[in-house]
Amino acid sequence: MTVVLVDAGGTNIGSVRYALQRLGADAALTSDAAAIRAADKVILPGVGSAGPGMARLRELGLVELLRSLTQPVLGVCLGMQLLCAHSEEGDTKCLGLIPAEVRRFAERPGLRVPHMGWNRLSVQREHPLLAGLGEDEQAYFVHSYAVPAGEWTLATADYDDAFSAVVARGNFHGMQFHPERSAAVGAKLLKNFLVL
C-alpha cells in the first residue's frame, strides 16, 4: 500500500508522517501529480490559513488533480477545511468537495479563539473511519475556523456550539483535530483510514 502526504506547505507534516510510521505506513511527502494519482491513500495535512493553503495548491497545479481523486483522501486540520466549498478566512474558494462553509468561531465572553486543547468527540453516524471509537474519546484541537455540522458530519465536538470534528463525503474524509497529537484516539483513526 502506498500512502502520500501532499506537500501543501503545512508545518505539521513531520509529526503526521511520524504518526503514520508508527502504524507501519511510510508516507512519502510529495507534490508530484503522478505520485499522488498513483497512491492508494492520499493525506492533505495543513496548518496555517486557507488563502495561502489554496494558493500553494494552485501554484503546484494540484487543485483539479485533488478534485478528481477516487482513492481514499484524508484532510487533516486545515487540510479538512480546504476540502470544503469556501472559507471565511480570507474569503477563500476551496476545493468544493464537501459543500460546507468554513466559519470563524464567534468571540464571546469566556470563549477564547483559537479553540485549543482536548475536546470530546461525539459520533453522529457510523462509518468505518470511526470504528472502535468509544463514547468519551477526546482529540486535540487547535483552530480558529470550523466546519458546521451537516450531512457530511461523522462526529462533532462542542465549543459553545457543535461543529464538525470528522467529516466524510464519498472518498473524501477530514479530521479537524490533530490525530498525530491525539494519542491512542488519533492513532486508531489514522489506522482506520489506512484500511478504508
- Report the C-alpha gap between 91 and 150 in whole angstroms: 21
- Report the C-alpha gap between 59 and 167 in whole angstroms: 26
Strands 145-146 and 41-44, by their bridges, are unpaired
- Check 84, 143, 173, 180 and give the catalytic one: 180
- Report the C-alpha gap between 138 and 78 in whole angstroms: 19
Q: Identify the three-state secondary structure at position 192.
A: helix
178 is a catalytic site residue: yes
77 is a catalytic site residue: yes
- Check 115, 143, 173, 178 and give the catalytic one: 178
Q: Looking up cell 477526546, which residue turns up?
A: 138
- Report the C-alpha gap between 153 and 147 in whole angstroms: 9
- Check 77, 84, 89, 137 and give the catalytic one: 77
- Report the C-alpha gap between 134 and 169 in whole angstroms: 22
Which DSSP state fits 147?
P
CB 176 within 8 A of CB 141: yes
135 is a catalytic site residue: no
Tell me which residues are annotated as active site.
Answer: 77, 178, 180
